[in-house]
Amino acid sequence: METASGMINNIFFIIFPIIVYQMFVTAGKRNFFVSHRTMLTILFSLSIILCMNFPYEFITNDYIFDLRQVPMIVGALYGGPYVSAFLFVVAAVCRILIGGEGTDIAILNQLLIAVAVPLLQPAFMQMQWATKILSVFLISFFSLSFNLLAGYFLFDHPIDRLYDIWLLLMINQGIVSVLAALLIEHIMRQEYLLNSLLKHEKMDTVSHFAAAVSHELRNPIQGIKGFIQLMQRYEYSREKQLEFHETILKEIQAAESLIDDYLVYAKPSYGQMVCISVKREVEHILKVLGPYALSNNINIVVKSLDKEACIMADRQKFHQALVNIVRNGIEAMPTGGKFYINVATHNAEVSIELADEGCRMTKEEVQRLGEPYFSTKTKGTGLGMMVTYSVIRQMDGHIKVSSAKGKGTVFTLLFPAATRTTTR
């Protein structure tokens, strides 16, 4: 009874941290066990400490045993040399504090595990599932035989009870290690599936996109072609020609803005994140959008522009995000009106408020913002907001939208404030 419940405790000390660990599986991380090494180290250190403090008698009360070698071996195999070194220190300190007979052999054994197992790690990571599991069993099995041999050769301890105790101990430890490895393999497999699902979804969106964009591009291109053919065929008055040029330019602009929307999203690598001054960027955007706003009878009012507000961002994409919001605001006020900009810093958070007086959105529309192809406009692409949302999320920012009757729509962008030192 003693043996069983003690052993079950030990097994629990090993399995529990792994299960806790599983809760940290996050999408998007490439190698979960590498990216969470610290977590792995802390949890397995806990396993070791608990195992060593609650050992169990094995068959007779002469043999007190614990499963500390399991987290050490599994930790070294999946975490690598640094994790292994740290776990060794934890186990050795624990063993010294516990004291008593056999401390020297135990620490020697732990040292051997801590040094030898990480050497096997690269080969281990290349193995097939079944080979991996077998290797874990063998490593765990033979690491215990070292205790026996070191005792015999270095300290002249006799080898007794080889079959009825030691062999069972070795098998016992081997099986628990396999159990731990199986759990970890399972977690890694889930992580892999999650990541490939995400990648698949992204590819799916991008290919949808490509189809949509090429389809959308056909309209303006056909328009341009038609006008040019007309001008080739007939002699038009200068006035008429200018009118055609105007239309052609408009079509080209439509195509351009579509490509802009598309490219920012489709570009797989993320540009450089630098500390930028929000004031400067907003001023830049005002310059770019000024003529467009004027021609639509829109007055852009800057309420306040905090000079100190700085955020970490990719300049190009930040522009794109702001331009998309301002453009929508302008488009929401077909009969003209005012567009307000307000930039402020509060508690290490930069807020950029962009408000229009245009047609408001329903709750349902607000919820759908950022969804690809969601557009209520006849000539809309429904890509602008999606790009804006994805860009701002990548910059650790948040978007709050409030749209109320008679007040228009307010977009509030919140970013963590950056320190000024590296501003460019």
Write out the residues near Mg ion by the rule CB under 5 A.
328, 384
Q: Which does 329 bind (CB under 5 to 8 A by kind): ligand ADP, Mg ion, none?
A: ligand ADP
Q: Is 226 in the site for ligand ADP (CB under 6 A)?
A: no
**In angstroms, rounded to a whole number, what is the distance separating the alpha carbons of residues 192 and 103?**
42
| Complex with Mg ion: residue 248 or 386, whichever CB lies closer | 386
| Complex with Mg ion: residue 41 or 328, whichever CB lies closer | 328
DSSP single-letter state for residue 196:
H
| Complex with ligand ADP: residue 3 or 219, whichever CB lies closer | 219
Choices 10-18, 103-111, 323-331, 345-353 (CB under 6 A): range interacting with ligand ADP: 323-331
Instruction: Tell me the closest approach of the beta carbon of residue 324 to Mg ion, in angstroms.
Output: 6
Binding to ligand ADP in span 156-215, by CB under 6 A? none
Binding to ligand ADP in span 367-406, by CB under 6 A? 369, 374-377, 380-386
Please give the sequence-ordered ranges of beta strands (E in DSSP) within 192-317, or none if there are none.
274-277, 298-305, 310-313
Q: Which does 349 bind (CB under 5 to 8 A by kind): Mg ion, ligand ADP, none?
A: none
Given 324, 342, 391, 392, the residue binding ligand ADP (CB under 6 A) = 324
Instruction: Tell me the closest approach of the beta carbon of residue 401 to ligand ADP, in angstroms.
Output: 8
Q: Is 135 in the site for ligand ADP (CB under 6 A)?
A: no
Q: Is 48 in the site for ligand ADP (CB under 6 A)?
A: no
CA dihedral sign, ordered 316, 317, 320, 321: negative
**In angstroms, rounded to a whole number, what is the distance separating the alpha carbons of residues 179 and 25?**
19
Beta bridge partners of 337: 298
Instruction: Tell me the closest approach of the beta carbon of residue 409 to ligand ADP, in angstroms.
Output: 4
In 3D space, the residue among 303, 302, 309 whose CA is nearest the CA of residue 276 turns out to be 309
Which residue is associated with the tokens 């000539």?
A: 379
Task: Kindly report the number of other CB atoms within 10 A of residue 238's CB atom.
Answer: 7
| Complex with ligand ADP: residue 314 or 356, whichever CB lies closer | 356
Q: Which does 135 bind (CB under 5 to 8 A by kind): ligand ADP, Mg ion, none?
A: none
In 3D space, the residue among 7, 143, 137 whose CA is nearest the CA of residue 64 turns out to be 7
Characterize the bridge pairing of strands 337-346 and 298-305.
Answer: parallel
In 3D space, the residue among 213, 200, 250 whose CA is nearest the CA of residue 27 turns out to be 200
**In angstroms, rounded to a whole number, what is the distance separating the alpha carbons of residues 193 and 189?**
6
Choices 100-108, 140-148, 183-191, 357-365 (CB under 6 A): range interacting with ligand ADP: 357-365
Give the DSSP H/E element, type plus range, for residue 343. strand 337-346
Give the per-residue SS3 of 114-173.
HHHHHHHHHHHHHCCHHHHHHHHHHHHHHHHHHHHHHHHHHHCCCCCCHHHHHHHHHHHH
Q: Is 413 in the site for ligand ADP (CB under 6 A)?
A: no
Q: Which long-range contacts (CB under 8 A, 24 or more apart) does 418-422 make?
A: 418/275, 418/310, 418/311, 418/312, 419/275, 419/310, 420/275, 420/308, 420/310, 421/275, 422/274, 422/275
Six-digit token string for 340: 């307000």
Given 195, 328, 342, 351, the residue binding ligand ADP (CB under 6 A) = 328
| Complex with ligand ADP: residue 133 or 302, whichever CB lies closer | 302
Instruction: Tell me the closest approach of the beta carbon of residue 260 to Mg ion, in angstroms.
Output: 11
Q: Which does 76 bind (CB under 5 to 8 A by kind): ligand ADP, Mg ion, none?
A: none
Q: Which does 52 bind (CB under 5 to 8 A by kind): Mg ion, ligand ADP, none?
A: none
Instruction: Tell me the closest approach of the beta carbon of residue 73 to ligand ADP, in angstroms.
Output: 53
Give the interface size with ligand ADP as a residue count (CB under 6 A).
Answer: 22
Which amino acid type is present at position 106? Answer: A
Given 216, 251, 281, 356, the residue binding ligand ADP (CB under 6 A) = 356
Binding residues (CB under 6 A) for ligand ADP: these are 324, 328-329, 332, 356, 358-359, 361, 365, 369, 374-377, 380-386, 409
